[in-house]
Structure 1
Amino acid sequence: MNDPTVLVVGGGVTGAGTARDLALRGVDVTLVDRAGLGSGTSGRSHGLLHSGARYAESDFEGARECLEENRILREIAGACIRETGGLFVQLAADDPDYFDIKRDRCASIGIPTRVLDGDEAGAIVPELSDDVARAMEVPDAVVYPSRLVAANAADARDHGATIAVGAPVGGMTVTDGRITSVELGGERIEPDYVINAAGAWADRIATMVGLDIEMRLTRGVMISIEYDDLGPVLNRCRPPNDGDIIVPHGSAVVLGTTSVPVADPDDHPIEDWEIERTRRECGAMLPSIVDAPDGRTWWGVRPLYAPDEDGCNGRGISRGFFRLDHAEDDVENFASIVGGKLTTYRKMAQETADLACERLGIDAECTTAERRLPGSDDPAQLDAFVSEFDGQGPTDADVVGSER
């Protein structure tokens, strides 16, 4: 493997997006992942493309970023996205003041909404619970992460990047405050700059150069159930809690999710109560799924960054992202990008690429908000990219490949 100008560690959506951004700026970049692309958190989500409404009352800036990136992805990502719309559903027992606050905050951010009564919501979702007092339409959508990651990687490759899957980082050597070499599967390369986009594994990469990134990891369960009659994403209109999202995926729906602290992203217990609680709570919105046959179940680990918090279940930790310039930690050619959401990956990649270019003295602008992803109009081509990069995750396994 040749020595790149920039090495990006972590082949999730943020790492692939960062490699694409740098390659489009003409930077020699290599993207590596220990497994296939999207094998970590990116490929193990519920697949919701946020409108920002979920965070409107708690994180104004994060919600605004979601709205902006939602609109960009609808323009550039084509068949990586499915237009569905979303409903925030207030049940009779839910606090009506919370609904009103969320609606008002959405208005202040610019998130378009429309309030429906229970009958109007039921006309959109025929099997919606009779317990629905009202609902609020928002521009949520569905994202197919396997396609999105692979399309970003394909565009990076087409512009000169090297994509290496099955290439775990074995260690890094620091000399006089700089990373001078990186071990990849027994081979050593000498990048000029290293970007840590390893998500839930970011702290493990940082420890290789003697740094500590204070991640607060939480696991969450997702359950896929056969159900082909749901149009919009359903969100329970209450403070974020277990079992409050139902996402339509082809002929199935994905139910989510829980939030349980874990210490190790590779070795953590999984509990049956998470499945039972998620199904029961989601069933309060869509009763017919409670007794539906079991489908596929998987867990994802959220790469939350919270240096000032400990001992919580993660619900209160910001879903915003953080760009860490480790020159401030005396490793001058190293940066990490942590936290964030799949919806905001492109902005995360842009800001990280901006930093790398600044440090390397490269004067080139980001173009990823205007350039459509390759294969975006051809689902079969997108799915071929997924196969090429060993990028199939459980989130969209029922969708990817179905249109070949």
Structure 2
Amino acid sequence: MTDDPTVLVIGGGATGAGITRDLALRGVDVTLVDRGGLAGGTSGRSHGLLHSGARYAEADAPGAAECLTESRTLKAIAGECVRETGGLFVRLADDDADYFEEKRRACEAIGIETERLDGDAAREVVPGLSDDVVEAFRVPDGVIYPSRLVAANAADAERHGATVHPHAPVEDIEVDEAGVSAVRVGGSVDATLKPEHVVNATGAWADQIADMAGVEVGMAPSRGVMISVEYDGLGPVLNRCRDPDDGDIVVPHDGEVVLGTTSVPVSDPDEYEQAAWEVDRSIEECAAMLPAVADAPELRTWWGVRPLYAPEEAGANRRGISRGFTLLDHGGEGVPNLYSVVGGKLTTYREMAEVTADRVCERLGVDEPCETADRRLPGADDPAELDAFVERYGGANPTDSDVVGVADD
């Protein structure tokens, strides 16, 4: 391999694949590399919640509004990469009634449609819901299948001229007075590339790439556990209506539900403890909403690491760190052709990609608009085609391994 791309995107999660697609649709010569299969990091090790924005409504109204807009966009363009389930925020008897009202009013102020239900009406919507639920309100949450979403973005990028290389780890970055001059990529590439611009979209691993280039990012990664258990018939996503805490989300799959999650600081996103107490606590807390999950057979358990960006973070509790995203331009550190996009949520990956692509195109003098909000993803109406994309780029990930490819088994 000798061709050098105009833009090299490092990191094949949702954001990196989204950036690659966005740039390719604007006619930019772009290559994506990832050290493993696509979506193998945070994207494919999440609980797969398509956020309506309600979870953040009272604490971060702009971030919640971003979620609302992007969730609507994904429902329009992503087809079988997402599932519209709806969601419920439920209040148990001991939960703060004022907080419930504050969140519901904040949702309405942002434009998130809600419908208030008493406890009996909520149990009609969700048979098996705890008798301790005294009230609830509906929100337009849903489910994302990240393996499909990321693979569809990568496939569309390649259809428009991009090059995508899974199993291609970055081994070294050379920097001179003009910025990044060369990137050594191993694995399936095994070559030194000389791009004009480099985008670091590696999420929780952003500090590692930044270190290679001699710049700083400032990640504060946090691990969380997800447990999939047998449970048939849950319709909407369940959210505990309280300040975010362990075990307050239940995400429906076909014949399963995903319970989560914890938030524990980690210093290394590759090497961290996977503690049994996290599993036990998540199950116990989710069972407060849906009692049958306490004794349901466990099907699989996995941990993911959130790519939280907090350069000044010193405390241990990272639930309060913003889930918004930040685009860092490292020109002020003497590397003007390197950018890091950090933070954010799976639901807002497309917006993160658009903002990043806008900046890169501005530097390149490319005057083409973003099209990703309006162009439907390839395979969106064909699960088998989506699953073929997933197989091409490394296979399904834990979040959706019960769904992706199952029809072909």
TM-score range, shorter chain: over 0.9
Mapped to 1, the partners of 2:374 and 2:319 lie a distance apart of 34
Distance of 2:333 and 2:353 partners within structure 1: 21
Q: Are 1:227 and 2:231 an aligned pair?
A: yes
Q: What is the alpha-carbon distance in structure 1 between the residues aligned to residue 159 and residue 290 of structure 2?
A: 44
Question: Is the CA contact (8 Å cut-off) linking 2:141 and 2:237 kept in structure 1?
Answer: yes
Q: For the residues of structure 2 that align with 1:104 and 1:310, how far apart are their CA atoms?
A: 32
In the comparison of the two structures, how many residue pairs are matched?
Answer: 404
Match of 1:195 among 199, 203, 207: 199
Alignment RMSD (CA, Å): 0.7
Describe how 1:104-115 pairs up with structure 2 within 5 A.
Answer: 104-115=105-116
Distance (whole Å) between structure 2 residues aligned to residue 388 and residue 155 of structure 1? 13
1:71-220 equivalence runs, <5 A: 71-185=72-186, 186-220=190-224
Q: Tell me if structure 2 keeps the 8 A contact 1:4–1:29.
A: yes
1:65-76 matches, cutoff 5 A:
65-76=66-77
CA–CA distance in 2 between the matches of 1:77 and 1:310? 38
Identity of aligned residues (%): 65
TM-score when scaled to structure 1? 0.99
Aligned to 1:343: 347
Residue deviations 1:221-254, cap 9 Å, x none? 0000011110000000000000000000111000
Looking at structure 1, the residues matched to 405 and 179 of structure 2 have their Cα atoms a distance apart, in angstroms, of 44
In terms of mean alpha carbon deviation, does 390-399 or 145-154 score higher? 390-399
Residue 217 of structure 1 contacts residue 261 of structure 1 at CA under 8 Å; is this kept in 2? yes
Per-residue CA shift, 1:28-73, capped at 9, x if unaligned? 0000000000010000000000000000000011000000000000
* 1:167 aligned counterpart, secondary structure: coil
SS in 1 for 2:101: helix
| Equivalent residues of 1:150, 1:391 under 8 A apart | no
Asked if structure 1 preserves the Cα contact closer than 8 Å seen for 2:177 and 2:334, the reply is no
Cα displacement (A) at 1:295: 1.8
Select between 296-305 and 177-186 the one with higher mean Cα deviation.
177-186
| C-alpha deviation, 1:312, in angstroms | 2.2
What letter matches 1:378 in structure 2?
D
- Write the deviation string for residues 102-153 of structure 1: whole angstroms up to 9, x where unpaired: 0111111000000000011000110000000100100000010000000000
Alignment-derived partner of residue 306 in structure 2 = 302
Q: State the distance in 1 between where 2:150 and 2:135 align.
A: 36
Is 2:279 aligned against 1:275? yes
Between the aligned partners of 1:208 and 1:294, the Cα distance in structure 2 is 41
Aligned equivalents of 2:99, 2:91: Cα separation in 1: 9
Paired residue secondary structure (1:296): strand
Corresponding letter in the other structure for 2:166: V
The DSSP-based 3-state class of the residue aligned with 1:395 is: helix
* Match runs of 1:360-379 below 5 Å: 360-379=364-383
Instruction: Give 1:313 deviation, angstroms.
Output: 2.3
1:381 aligns with 2:382: no
Cα distance in 2, alignment partners of residues 391 and 159 from structure 1? 22
Letter in 2 for 1:216: A
Alignment partners' CA distance in 1, 2:80 and 2:140? 17
Question: Any stretches of 5+ residues in structure 2 without a counterpart?
Answer: none
TM-score (norm. length: structure 2): 0.98
Q: For 2:263, which of 246, 259, 265 is the aligned residue?
A: 259
The corresponding residue for 1:24 is: 25
Instruction: Provide the rounded CA distance (Å) in 2 between the counterparts of 1:21 and 1:63.
Output: 23
Amino acid corresponding to residue 378 of structure 2 in structure 1: P
Structure 1 stretches of at least 4 aligned residues deviating more than 6 Å after TM superposition: none
Choose from 330, 333, 337 the match for 2:334: 330
AA aligned opposite 1:377: D
